[in-house]
Amino acid sequence: MYQYNEQDQSLINDRVAQYRDQTRRFLAGEIPDEEFRALRLMNGLYIQRQAPMLRIAVPYGLMNSTQVRKLADITRKYDKGYAHVTTRTNIQLNWPKLEEVPDILAELAEVQMHAIQTSGNCLRNTTTDHFAGIIPDEIEDPRPWCEIIRQWTTLHPEFAYLPRKFKIAVTGGPEDRAASQVHDIGLHLVKNDAGEVGFEVLVGGGLGRTPHIGKVIREFLPQKDLLTYLEAILRVYNLNGRRDNKYKARIKILVSALGVEEFAKLVEAEWDIIRDTETRLTDEHIDRIKGFFEPQPYAADAVDGLAVLENQLEDDAEFRVWYERNTRDHKVAGYRAVIVSLKPHLKAPGDITDVQLDVVADLADRYNFGEIRSTHDQNLVLAHVAAGDLYNLWKSLNDNNLARPNIGTLTDMIVCPGFDFCSLANAHTLNVADQINQKFDDFDYLYDIGEIKLNMSGCINACAHHHVAHIGILGVDKKGEDFYQITLGGSSREDASLGKIIGKAVPQADVADTIETILQVYVENRQEEERFIDTVRRIGVAPFKERVYAPVN
Amino acid sequence: MPLLINRAVATEDNWLLVDAENVAAHLNEDIVVPFELFAEQTETLLASEGGLGVQINGDQDFDLVLQNLERLSLVAVEFPAFTDGRGFSFARILRRSGFTGQIRAVGDVSQDRLEYMERCGFDAFAIADERFSESMVQAFGEVSVHYQGCADDERPIFRQQ
């Protein structure tokens, strides 16, 4: 992974000192509340319902064991011994003290981490596929490009006060695990007819109040032009995006107001002026960054572990179930990617304790070249585990409640913290997640239902991406009571689509039962091997709606 | 109102902000005219004797300013709110268009944006009294490493020596 040089380190050290001084001046009454709000947000610090919340950046979801141990330490020292993984693959602390944040940042800087631009109306953390670099059909590893974008976005002086937040995702091939089509900019590595690798550029995706799927504005962008093209998009947006209404300020609104052709025209005109400026990438820089993402030193004899693994899978049914659910193919023979489930029974989805963080760091050192990835689905990934190590790894994960075999199933939910923590939320989410977990605790049933994506947001801001879940749940407040609106048929993958609302919101007590009804309709209608989402797409939402709202006899 | 020019507190300001009422009396002095007035009396102002500056904000027609850069010695970019980032792009575009006169930030301008503004091409900052302190000049260069090129140095980190 990328390693800071003196300049990178100097930048984040300076940034810590700068933020420390801003905090000091705020506490001394020298910076008005509203202004400090913007400054602290650009450093990931929210003031929430019960305490501040600090969002720590995990650029493109990649960490080393030293960093994860430091996070464990920080949760012990400054927080309540746990952290939360977000859909932007960042890490949130729920209980830091505002006055201590500069100290937390100083500790993070010791391990090449920071909280720069994890919130606010600026360029946010760039995300990518959590299987980057290990999947066979990837055109190119997207992470070097994410790092190039990370550097360009970090403390960008022109684009720090955008009309609204701005998110970029990069995918390395045709599969999309980064929800790139619901990003302000989605970048897909593609190959053109001449065999050159470049980017397909999408713009104007986003969720929130008015969800949009991104639109292609350029089918092929040469690699060296990446930053100048991004600069052109951002400048057009900075100058033309709406600033009078924060609900209409995202780039998606500008793109639909102008029309994608007109928007693209403005971008191309600006790009014409700047494409040959110094910002144009150089081969030397691209090669240098790529050098940090060389394949791990895989062992040639890892394949020998396959026979051992075969026996272990036969002997231990529990291990086999986990292997089938929570591991994935790796392009190097003898290795597999392991998904560490942060979706245990009756615990907040995406939460991880200090002890678990330390365990994962140790396991990464022992079995995974010291690397840990955080995922958009709020889990962790150990991407390069040798076949012969899987059994021992599983045992350790299992001992620490990190091996629930539910990846890709109904209980592998994306859930925002909701009303319990978030000051924007209208409704609770964590108790509904518990309700769903209690109702659907039978793994045989979950496996029979198969691949399904359930996301639940506590308000219309849609942090849990409910619009693009197979089953989306949105908490709403009706006269002080929590109700839940259900959408079906959304997807954040390469076949991105927005879910359709099936009807009026259901009371909190009925959410899990309603999901059960929906799943019954699926089971009755599915054709052989058909996934839930495919059945919904084939038969539409009407049969589901009919059953859910059928009069009770 | 305190004024910073080139990272120092300026003791004098030879620029006079005029309006429609008094502009005629100052045509042979160094004046800054609000954009509406500049748009209304472009010909007269371009032909005036003294130095000419225009004050513009993000809602106004920036192209009219760009078309007349040769005659302008100062562009004042107004920040109606500190969160309005359009002025950063205005400054950047002014510098890349070859403008070498003063770019002055006016309006909601305070310490924590000075560094970014300077990088984008601003060299003068009018600061409200209640937000001014002598020590605020330290804000320039708080972060010494720059990943991206900007008006101060167009070279991104990978082209710097």
Q: DSSP for B60-80? A: S-HHHHHHTGGG-SEEEEEES
**Residues A93/A95/A96/A97 CA torsion (nearest 10 deg):** 160
Mean pLDDT on A52-57: 96
Nearest residue on chain A to B117, judged by CA atoms?
A: A157
User: How would residue A49 be classed by pLDDT, with cut points 50, 70 and 90?
Assistant: confident
| Residue from A332, A404, A320, A392 nearest A362 by CA | A392
- How far apart are the CA of A177 and the nearest CA of chain B, in angstroms? 28
Q: Which positions in chain B touch A272 (Cβ < 8 Å)?
A: none
| Interchain contact, B147 vs A155, CB within 8 Å | yes
Q: Which of B59, B65, B89, B111 to mutate to test the interface with A (most CBs of A within 10 A)?
A: B89
User: How would residue A553 be classed by pLDDT, with cut points 50, 70 and 90?
Assistant: low
Write the pLDDT tens digit of every residue in A452-501. 999 999 999 999 999 999 999 999 999 999 999 999 999 999 999 999 99
Q: Which of B61, B66, B78, B112 to mutate to test the interface with A (most CBs of A within 10 A)?
A: B112
| The pLDDT of residue A124 | 97
Q: Which positions in chain A touch B88 (Cβ < 8 Å)?
A: 157-161, 238
| Interchain contact, B149 vs A277, CB within 8 Å | yes
| A348, A430 contact by CB (below 8 A) | yes
Q: Which positions in chain A touch B82 (Cβ < 8 Å)?
A: 35, 38, 161
Tell me, yes or no, if A223 comes closer than 8 A to chain B by beta carbon.
Answer: no
Write the pLDDT tens digit of every residue in A375-384. 999 999 999 9
Q: Which positions in chain B touch A39 (Cβ < 8 Å)?
A: 112
Q: Which positions in chain B touch A31 (Cβ < 8 Å)?
A: 112
- How far apart are the CA of B157 and the nearest CA of chain A, in angstroms? 9
CA distance A264 to A251: 12
CA distance A381 to A401: 15
DSSP 3-state of A412: coil
Tell me, yes or no, if A235 comes closer than 8 A to chain B by beta carbon.
Answer: yes
State the alpha helices, DSSP H only, in A453-528.
511-525
Q: Which positions in chain B touch A244 (Cβ < 8 Å)?
A: none
Smallest Cβ distance to B88: which of A17, A158, A273? A158
Q: Which positions in chain A touch B113 (Cβ < 8 Å)?
A: 161
Write the pLDDT tens digit of every residue in A112-133. 999 999 999 999 999 999 999 9
Write the pLDDT tens digit of every residue in B94-152. 999 999 999 999 999 999 999 999 999 999 999 999 999 988 999 999 999 999 999 99
CA distance A522 to A501: 16
Using alpha carbons only, what angle is made at residue A330 by residues A329 and A334, rounded to the nearest 5 degrees?
100
Tell me, yes or no, if A281 comes closer than 8 A to chain B by beta carbon.
Answer: yes
Tell me, yes or no, if A7 comes closer than 8 A to chain B by beta carbon.
Answer: yes
Whether the predicted pLDDT of A552 surpasses 90: no
Q: Which positions in chain A touch B58 (Cβ < 8 Å)?
A: 239, 243
Smallest Cβ distance to B157: which of A7, A14, A239? A7
**What's the N-to-C CA distance of chain A in angstroms?**
61
| The pLDDT of residue A211 | 95
Q: Which of B117, B145, B161 to mutate to test the interface with A (most CBs of A within 10 A)?
A: B145
Bridge partners, A197 (sequence order): A191
Mean pLDDT on A413-432: 93
Sign of CA dihedral A317, A319, A322, A324: negative
Smallest Cβ distance to A239: which of B89, B120, B146? B89
Indicate the pTM of the whole model: 0.97
A35 phi/psi in degrees, rounded to 5: -75, -40
ipTM field: 0.98
Smallest Cβ distance to A22: which of B112, B147, B155? B112
| A115, A39 contact by CB (below 8 A) | no
Mean pLDDT on A218-238: 98
| A266, A204 contact by CB (below 8 A) | no
- How far apart are the CA of B1 and the nearest CA of chain A, in angstroms? 18
